Amino acid sequence: MNKLALYCRIGFEKEVAAEITDKATALGVFGFARVQENSGYVIFECYQAGEADRLAREIPFNQLIFARQMLVVSDLLSDLDLADRISPIVEKFVAFSPQFNLKQSTEIWVETADTNEAKELSGFCKKFTVPLRQALKKQGGLGFKEIKKSGVTLHCLFVANNACYVGYSYNNNHSAHFMGIPRLKFPADAPSRSTLKLEDAILTFIPKEDEPKRLNDNMIGVDLGACPGGWTYQLVRRGLFVYAVDHGKMAASLHDTGRIEHCPEDGFKFQPPKRKKIDWLVCDMVEKPSRIADLIAKWLLNSWCRETIFNLKLPMKKRYQEVQQCLQQLADKLDSHGIKFRLQAKHLYHDREEITVHIQVKSAV
């Protein structure tokens, strides 16, 4: 197995290819990305055997921006006999099991890419999962009863009803979601659908066990570009008091909570009220990404907040390069002021032409 499969939003294959090529090169692993536009995934083929496994272990998954999932895969199994697709798939898993421990696998996900055509296979994938799971168990697979961080998840990525890649991902370095997509339910009382973007971001960037410590009712947030209030809703729901900055109208339901103050001001000029310590800054204004990056840098350099989640809208062209440039520019500014921070950026499932960035200040001098 010398290939890595990376799932993504349809239309972002080139960004994934550029990103994985950079990350692999940085580790001294060389190969090439096979890009099929609008396929919803990229195959990165390493020149040396065993190196895909190394990439799957050593590239921190949370540092990949455009990839939703990362797994080591076999060559494509094609022309599968529709009367028995299970035997060759199980054989393939068994053949590869010296490379990973089949016994220490925790789950089998029978997946497709996230495209309309591919999703037509999802009914079949669902039905196929149970017999495939049983067949793998007979071979000693899926030995872990519960999801263990030390285990691997098995994947079967169907690209046609008679063709699939089989592979595995490391549970401590992958997306814990089937197809790399979190299933979030839209809260009926939220003022806008964009509420799911911030929820997705919080779930992605903040470990569940840290949430009560990092988002709670002793805290104050600022939401720049807040109206009608989908992001503010997520903060208020977690107990924060929020200054909601926007010339627009906030949902009445949020005013009713008594946990917001609406500030009809320009988000680029707004400053935290005197003597108020702001814990969180969130920002969803539609603006040039470099302008947003500068604004966030201003907040962090002035110590106006300790933690922030914001969007960077993507340009039509050179999306990967633009993102790299903005993030580098921001990181350089923080570095030059001696600020220690953790930065994560992700093209989340609920993001379209934008990515979401999270920065947590660790210490400031």
Provide the binding-site residues for ligand SAM, judged by CB under 6 A.
191-192, 194-195, 225-231, 245-248, 266-268, 284-286
Q: Which residue has the tokens 């470099």?
A: 290
Element (H, E) at 130: helix 122-138
Nearer to ligand SAM, 5 or 305 (CB): 305
Residue at shortest CB range from ligand SAM: 230
> CB 252 → ligand SAM: shortest distance, Å?
14
How many angstroms separate the Cα of 171 from the Cα of each of 82, 148, 309?
31, 7, 25
Cα separation, 342 vs 5, whole angstroms: 27
Question: Least distance to ligand SAM from the beta carbon of 228, Å?
Answer: 5
Active-site pick, 313, 317, 333, 340: 313
Residue of 323, 222, 331 lying closest to 267 (CA atoms): 222
Which 3 state secondary structure label does DSSP give 158? strand
**Residue 202: which of 174, 230, 161 has the closest Cα?**
230
Nearer to ligand SAM, 90 or 245 (CB): 245
Output 55 or 309, the one with its CB closest to ligand SAM. 309
Shortest Å distance, C-beta 352 to ligand SAM: 11
* Eight-state DSSP code of residue 194: T
DSSP three-state, residue 356 = strand
Residue closer to ligand SAM, measured from CB, 32 or 186: 186
CA separation for the pair 117, 350 (Å, rounded):
20
Check residue 360 and report its DSSP letter. E
Vertex 98 angle, CA 97 and 99, to 5°:
85
Q: Least distance from C-beta 111 to ligand SAM, angstroms?
A: 30
Residues 237 and 198 sit within 8 Å (Cβ to Cβ): no
Judge whether 313 counts as a catalytic residue: yes
Rounded CA-CA distance 44/3 in Å is: 6
Residue closer to ligand SAM (CB basis): 281 or 339: 281
Nearest approach in angstroms of CB 170 to ligand SAM is: 34
Q: Which residues are catalytic?
A: 313
